[in-house]
Amino acid sequence: MSISERKRKEMILEIPQLAQFEDFELSRIATYNDLYWEKFHFQCPILHCPSFQAESAPTPLLLSILLIGASYTPTSEDFKTAIAAPLRWIIFKSSSFHPPTRVWVLQSLLLLEMYEKTRSSSRLIHERAHIHHGTTLQLIRRGSTLLDPSIKLDPENSSTWVEWVEAESIKRAVFLAFVLDVCHSVLFSHGQLLHPNELQLSLPCDDRVWDSAEDNRDRLNAPTISFISGLRGLLKGQHMNLGSELGRLALLYGLLSHFIQISNLDLEASTLDAEIIIPFREKWGLAIGKALNFWWKDYNSEDRAASENILEQQLNKMDYLQHFHYAFISMTTRRYELHVFCGDRRILGKTTIRQDYLHAERYMNEWAKTSVAREAAFHALKGLISAFLENGKPTMYSVTTDPFVHRPMIIAHCALVFWAYAYCLDGPESNVLAHNFNGSHLEDHEWALVAESGLVFLERCSTVSSPRDLDHLKNKNRTVGLLKWVMLALRGSDWPLLVEICQMMDNCVKRSLGWEGAVGNDLECRNIQVG
């Protein structure tokens, strides 16, 4: 998909600084554009590839596309920051930035948010995305975007193909906004703002229709089921042959969103001693857990043989398996206490102190004894196995070759959850650093101190088929090799959040080797900022 010099100059008019970079030559711009469609589009299919024309696309949208594409190359951070830093304000000042939302505005904001939160090397830009996330959702709310745009199409098929594409594009953008809202609320710890009952939408159409260059309106006479009907179907164990990867993911996070709302209701009621709500929460927790399991079973049973993008389907399946495991972890683990216990010293701008750690330590030790902790540990273990083993053989996973935007952080959290579960139950792996309170210089030698390599540990644990099996798993606290392996796989990323969470894992490694200084009284002096 070529981009002309005229379009390049239009982008320079918006951001004059781009003219200074060799990275903004036409040949490189074309590479960024191709990488967006090759590595990112199938994860977030909100743009209609067959009808997309770079030459006629709004400049802010094209800049968002090129920014994400550039993030898959070793392009200089100064160049990517030169686009990202002013781009949000360029979108905001557009004459189209008002409700009802123009679809390209919504698409631009969502793509920029994806870059800011998951691809940027700047902590400030990451935080900016969280602050302005609510703006995007309010822009959606303040129009008719949450109502199904397809109802405006003529049922007699007299609507144009362009009108259908726009209606489906709006719907897909709203579903992506919902997925990001719920996913990031548990992955990055921010409040959920958009709820399932607000989405009065039918699910996205079959991806084969969406990706086709032909006018497929004749295949859309029978509309897809509504989002709410889909959630009800999952709770009842009803098979749904959706054909839409984004729709399937939206249903997963719709279930998780319901659980979060019920949990928040339980928390609010507990402040008033309203214990009557607790059995209600437990009942729904079991129902949603059962529905999540059915979601994965149904996803596996769906026939994808006719798909034109078999590789993309396989890659999505690998990624969705991680999201499935993380949904269970999110239901059974409190992120704040987990992070403080593992060594996070600054969460959401608040510096943690010794009292915060002692509270988290008490909570995690009690948590580890419960059945929900065992379930969280099981899914964390399965998440790690799916990332590092395929048919029992190492996959040699590396973050530098992983196109998926959320999987590295999910893998890191799986490692923290399983470590905390095993450490709280069985203590450290060894005490070789018990009398070494200056153990930081031993990092290069820690590989030699492990009782079991990470891959051997995962191969041994691959026989675990249910949470109950963890009760009989021997030496489950031999996690030093596992943590070191995960850290090695995540090395090479310049994403600040991964760097920070690897610092937490390094803290866990030292504790598992018996170094008590890793959780000493100098907590206030540490400056880790996972959030």
Give the model confidence (pLDDT) of 113-168 as tens digits.
Answer: 999 999 999 999 999 999 999 999 999 988 767 776 666 655 555 567 788 888 89
Residue 483 lies in a domain: yes
- Residue 222: band (very low, low, confident or very high) from pLDDT cuts 50, 70, 90: low
- Residue 305: band (very low, low, confident or very high) from pLDDT cuts 50, 70, 90: very low
Longest dimension (CA), the chain: 79
Report which DSSP code applies to 202: B
Over residues 256-264, mean pLDDT: 90
pLDDT of residue 253: 97
Q: Please, what is the average pLDDT of the chain?
A: 87
Which residue has better confidence, 311 or 525?
311
User: What confidence tens digit (pLDDT) does each residue in 177-196 have?
Assistant: 999 999 999 999 888 999 99
Residue 347 lies in a domain: yes
Q: What is the percentage of the chain residues whose pLDDT exceeds 90?
A: 64
Measured distance CA(83)–CA(309) in Å, rounded = 31
Q: Are 398 and 489 in contact, with CB atoms under 8 Å apart? A: yes
Q: Are 174 and 198 in contact, with CB atoms under 8 Å apart? A: no
β-partners of residue 393 are 390
Residue 12 lies in a domain: no
Measured distance CA(251)–CA(235) in Å, rounded = 11
CB atoms < 10 A from the CB of 389, how many?
17
Residue 373 lies in a domain: yes
Which residue has better confidence, 418 or 319?
418
Q: Strand, helix or coil at 351?
A: strand
Counting beta carbons within 10 angstroms of the beta carbon of residue 147, is it exposed (0 to 12), middle (13 to 18) or buried (19 or more)?
Answer: middle
Q: Are 36 and 52 in contact, with CB atoms under 8 Å apart? A: no
Strands (DSSP E) along 113-254, which ranges?
none
Counting beta carbons within 10 angstroms of the beta carbon of residue 318, is it exposed (0 to 12), middle (13 to 18) or buried (19 or more)?
Answer: middle
Structure tokens at 169: 């594009």
- Residue 32: band (very low, low, confident or very high) from pLDDT cuts 50, 70, 90: very high
Measured distance CA(172)–CA(36) in Å, rounded = 17
Q: Strand, helix or coil at 347?
A: strand
pLDDT of residue 525: 42
The pTM for the full model equals 0.92
Query: Which CA distances in Å does 400 have to 116, 151, 483, 499, 505?
Result: 18, 43, 18, 13, 19
Strands (DSSP E) along 348-501, which ranges?
350-351, 389-390, 393-394
Residue 295 has pLDDT above 90, yes or no: yes
Structure tokens at 421: 């579960």
Residue 502 lies in a domain: yes
Q: Are 33 and 47 in contact, with CB atoms under 8 Å apart? A: no
Q: Are 79 and 32 in contact, with CB atoms under 8 Å apart? A: no
β-partners of residue 147 are 200
Measured distance CA(205)–CA(209) in Å, rounded = 7
Residue 3 lies in a domain: no
Angle between helices 77-92 and 103-118 (to 10 degrees): 140
DSSP 158-172: -S-HHHHHHHHHHHH
Q: Strand, helix or coil at 453?
A: strand
Domain count, the chain: 1
Measured distance CA(315)–CA(326) in Å, rounded = 17
Residue 213 lies in a domain: no
Say which amino acid occupies 381.
L
Per the document, the length of the chain is: 531
- Domain of 426 in residue numbering reads as 335-513
Residue 277 has pLDDT above 60, yes or no: no
Residue 430 lies in a domain: yes
Which residue has better confidence, 346 or 395?
395
Kind and range of the H or E element at 393? strand 393-394
Q: Are 159 and 217 in contact, with CB atoms under 8 Å apart? A: yes
